[in-house]
Structure 1
Amino acid sequence: MREARVPADGMYEGRRTLRRLPEGVAERPYDLFELVPRGRVIGAEVHGIDLSRPLTPELRDELNRALLEWKVLFFRGQGLTSAQQRDFAANWGELETNPLLARGSSADVVRFEKGGNATPTFENVWHADVTFRERPALGAVLQLHEVPAVGGDTMWADMAAAYDNLPDAVKARIDGAWAVHDFIPGFGRFYGPEKLIPLQEEFPPVEHPVVRTHPETGRRMLFVNTSFTTHIVGMDRDESDRLLSYLVRQAHVPEYQVRFTWQPGDIAFWDNRATQHYAIDDYAPQRRVAERVAIAGDRPY
């Protein structure tokens, strides 16, 4: 019989460990809303809440628990104003500004207008937002205002599940390792030096752990991505490139993912510490218009 040889760093068949909750945490019901799962480890719709109204402390806490347990929450048909969207996001902390993206009604609202004659940008790549900052975003609240008739879905991947399923030999190589993140690779695809050079001093390269610990759940998660992670500290370039290529491919595993089909006025609220996401660019020349508010996070450890 011929040798059954799998290329080094290949993806293997077999059952994966799909653990949604941290070790030792039991399932509990939600008392203040209905939650409908949309994925095995990630993604759930929340029904019975009007996000235009202020959150009580009890509702905010239960939503935060749902966010930690499901990593991305979906709210159908909210139709928020930009101010209401900002107010909702501010329940989780300081709002973030991003001078690299188009501004909406205020400095902390980012507007994406795609399709038609617009240049296709910042789509069809797995990434976590702004990992080139010393304090990458805690999370983000995205609302779709204009939705194509077909296409324009968004996907999220659970990076704790991705870490859980790494071979022990790979975990041993990356536990304690650090990687460099830089905004230039992600934004250099779309902007010229005249826009990027003035921002290099504001956003110098930063180092983050390859495996970060979630500050609220304690879970270990892969924290490298295609858009902003340039190399692993202390490795020669070929070794770093090969290992990073393997690690970023873990977001591609369907068992770790959820896919959401938008309708106008829908909201997605995701934990940027625990996930990566992928905006699917399959709808041109139809239009897709969205606004995003991001929440400043902490320094990964």
Structure 2
Amino acid sequence: MNEAVRQEAAATASLPFDVTPLTPTIGAELGGIDLAKPLDTATLDALRRTLLEWKVIFFRDQNITTDEHIAFARRFGALEVHPFAPEKAGYPEVLAITHDRERPGRENTWHSDVTWRLEPSLGSVLRALEVPDVGGDTLFADMYAAYEGLSDDMKAKVEGRTAIHDFTHFRARMRQRGKPEAEIEAFQKQYPEAEHPVVRTHPETGRKGIYVNAAFTQYIVGMERGESDALLRHLYAQAAIPEYQCRFRWRTNSIAFWDNRACQHYAVSDYWPAVRRMERVTIVGDRPY
């Protein structure tokens, strides 16, 4: 056993829960931990370190209440209220995501959450309440690995570049629902276009990762639009490379906690007309650099 492997094994052995990686670089399932119980500081610190290492961590058989869901997420930071998506009644911090025969799944685009915010989220804690017998998996992509896999010429091309992000798709849905233009304009003033680096430096790990996504990125600043579109298409495509991905099959009371600063995700919409019912609590992040 070489020294690096020995150190990794020792670190894992000292954790107060079991860690089973899904792939070599992204995704790990954690066992021997009950999120309904109060977690001490040492366990929370270990969870944060594990999240930073694996970018997304998964828990099974977590029969927790909404209040316990919120309390767990709040241990990692202040919680965000989504201005456009439906919330759970009485819980503005809880995003209620239900798809069924009348509401097919639509999150099947690689994305990082709420990058249209000036300070996008740190991460999200997503809980499965009801899932299809088959289908409805979520894929996660390691955006560190995606950046590191770029050619040297491509890295030089994106170095120092920034891109504009906007809530275009939410605006379109608001119009479809008949929202008045004055209301849409008020949201635009409250949430103006955000300019973020094309390659983000993670504030805790210091690692670089691709930080543009097909859902919310509009264009690269200072580039002719055709050149910007071509470069963005190339960067978006990196998330679809299987070597950078893990795939999670949901069961009722499964939980995924992902680092929105280091990975993207894709909710597979292959289960219509079955029901897929989830609840998400999101942790406030900081301004990318």
- TM-score bracket relative to the smaller structure: over 0.9
How far is the alpha carbon of 1:121 from its aligned partner? Answer: 5.0
Contact kept in structure 2, 1:121 and 1:190, CA below 8 Å: no
Aligned pairs (5 A) from 1:4-43: 27=8, 28-29=11-12, 30-43=14-27
Alignment correspondent of 1:269:
257
Corresponding position: 1:281 with 2:269: yes
Q: Deviation per CA, 1:41-84, whole angstroms, max 9, x where unpaired?
A: 10000000000111100000000000000000000010211111
Alignment correspondent of 1:114:
99
Larger relative helix fraction: 2
Q: Secondary structure at the match of 1:49?
A: coil
Q: Secondary structure at the match of 1:140?
A: strand
Q: Which of 199, 210, 229 is equivalent to 1:241? A: 229
Give me the identity figure in percent: 49
TM-score (normalizing by structure 2): 0.92
TM-score (normalizing by structure 1): 0.89
Give me the whole-angstrom Cα distance separating, in 1, the residues matched to 2:185 and 2:280. 25
Q: Which of 148, 158, 163 is equivalent to 1:164? A: 148
How many residue pairs end up in the alignment?
Answer: 275
Q: Which of 170, 188, 191 is equivalent to 2:174? A: 191
Give the letter aligned to residue 129 of structure 2: H
Q: Deviation per CA, 1:237-274, whole angstroms, max 9, x where unpaired?
A: 00000000000100000000000000001000000000
Alignment correspondent of 1:94:
78
Alignment correspondent of 1:210:
198
Report the CA distance shift for 1:196/1:79 in structure 2 as closer, same or farther (over 3 A).
Answer: farther
Give me the whole-angstrom Cα distance separating, in 2, the residues matched to 1:196 and 1:249. 31
Give me the whole-angstrom Cα distance separating, in 2, the residues matched to 1:284 and 1:121. 8
Alignment correspondent of 2:282:
294
RMSD between superposed Cα atoms in Å: 1.4
Give me the whole-angstrom Cα distance separating, in 1, the residues matched to 2:15 and 2:81. 34
Give the letter aligned to residue 229 of structure 1: T
Alignment correspondent of 1:200:
188
Contact kept in structure 2, 1:160 and 1:274, CA below 8 Å: yes
Corresponding position: 1:222 with 2:205: no
Contact kept in structure 2, 1:101 and 1:110, CA below 8 Å: yes
Give me the whole-angstrom Cα distance separating, in 2, the residues matched to 1:287 and 1:189. 25
Runs of 4 or more off by more than 4 Å in structure 1?
none
Give me the whole-angstrom Cα distance separating, in 2, the residues matched to 1:251 and 1:100. 26
Contact kept in structure 1, 2:106 and 2:269, CA below 8 Å: no
Aligned pairs (5 A) from 1:148-163: 148-163=132-147
Contact kept in structure 1, 2:82 and 2:95, CA below 8 Å: yes
How far is the alpha carbon of 1:191 from its aligned partner? Answer: 2.9
Give me the whole-angstrom Cα distance separating, in 1, the residues matched to 2:106 and 2:88. 16
Which consecutive unaligned segments of at least 5 residues does structure 1 have?
A: 1-22
Q: Deviation per CA, 1:186-225, whole angstroms, max 9, x where unpaired?
A: 3245331536433111111010000110011000000000
Aligned pairs (5 A) from 1:78-93: 78-93=62-77
Give me the whole-angstrom Cα distance separating, in 2, the residues matched to 1:74 and 1:267. 6
Alignment correspondent of 2:50:
66
Q: Secondary structure at the match of 2:239?
A: helix
Give me the whole-angstrom Cα distance separating, in 2, the residues matched to 1:112 and 1:261. 17
Alignment correspondent of 1:129:
113
Give the letter aligned to residue 257 of structure 1: Q
Contact kept in structure 2, 1:40 and 1:255, CA below 8 Å: no
Give me the whole-angstrom Cα distance separating, in 2, the residues matched to 1:253 and 1:247. 11
